[in-house]
Amino acid sequence: MQKMQKESGGVACNSRVVTEHKTGHGLCIAGLGLSLLLLTGTGVLAASDELVVGNFSALPPKGIMLKMPKDWQPLTFKKIKTHSRYRHVLVDGRGAIEARSENGASGLIRKLTINPAQYPVISWQWKVKNILSKGDVSKKSGDDYPARIYITFAYDSKKAGFWEGVKFDTYKMVYGEYPPVAAINYIWANKAGIGRIFTNPYADRVKMIVIESGTAKVGKWLQERRNIVADYRAAFKKEPPLISGIAIMTDTDNTGQSATAWYGDIVMSRGVSSSRTP
């Protein structure tokens, strides 16, 4: 069926409500069409100042713990054999995604295309059971977090330099799609200062922004809110391209430790105040 691409409200539209395809290759993420409407339980979308990316607070079916929330898929890494475990559970009287990691790493990702100029604000809720004593945002051996929100940004061939274009085109020839051009991780660190921005020790195109740190708020539901456009400018010194994916991840493969976290709703908005509470 021929696709009819549109642009409305900053969200890439497609003749299908949501278009998805799996790659099975880590962060090899291509933009996927959300419709211009907000997802509802019926799959029909309605125009809104908010885009509910992860409706995790919805209660799972009674007596059932779902392993995968709707519209999300596993995010795994080729060299990491032990994966974190994710379940849609009832906790503290609410639905949430529970993440448990024991010397492993993987995430859950929702592939989509959003224009951050139209939806610059991301808000989410999370809670962690513990921090990682061996974590260190500046070292490969410490690149683990009890909770993180991972945002990937789409590669734009029209804005690429010659050698960058060659590299990305080669990747696409091998894997069938372009990798993200950049990523931001909102992390819960063990000791790094809140608000600091670090370059990921594995990839200079990935920036780590410390949202929470230490043990003071462990065991509490927290509501977080960030302006992605402002954070991208601060991290990369330029304007952000389209968002190509949003992921959650709890990982412990580098430290060899264990962590448990819970993730609540993830919402993109135009910047108006949200009525959602932790």
CATH of the domain at 198: 2.60.120.430
Burial 131-156 (b: 16+ CB within 10 A, else e): bbeebbbeeeebbbbbbbbbbbbbbe
Instruction: Name the least confident of 93-102, 244-253, 264-273.
Output: 264-273
In-domain check, residue 276: no
Instruction: Write down the pTM of the prediction.
Output: 0.79
The position carrying tokens 């430790």 is 257
Name the burial class of residue 102, with classes exposed (0-12), middle (13-18) and buried (19+) by CB atoms within 10 angstroms of its CB.
middle
In-domain check, residue 196: yes
- How far apart (Å, rounded) are the C-alpha atoms in residues 54 and 33? 16
159-168: average pLDDT: 64
In-domain check, residue 107: yes
Q: Output the six-digit token pair for 113.
A: 């295309």
In-domain check, residue 154: yes
Cα 78 to chain centroid, rounded? 19
Q: How confident is the model at residue 165 (pLDDT cuts 50, 70, 90)?
A: low
In-domain check, residue 278: no
Domain count, the chain: 1
Express as a percent the part of the chain with pLDDT over 90.
Answer: 62
Contacts of 42 (CB under 8 A, 6+ apart): none
- How far apart (Å, rounded) are the C-alpha atoms in residues 45 and 51? 10
Q: Could you list the residue range(s) of the whole structural domain that residue 199 is in?
A: 6-269
- How far apart (Å, rounded) are the C-alpha atoms in residues 204 and 252? 21
- Choose among 263, 169, 275, 170: nearest CA to 221: 263
Give the pLDDT of residue 20: 30
In-domain check, residue 1: no
In-domain check, residue 246: yes
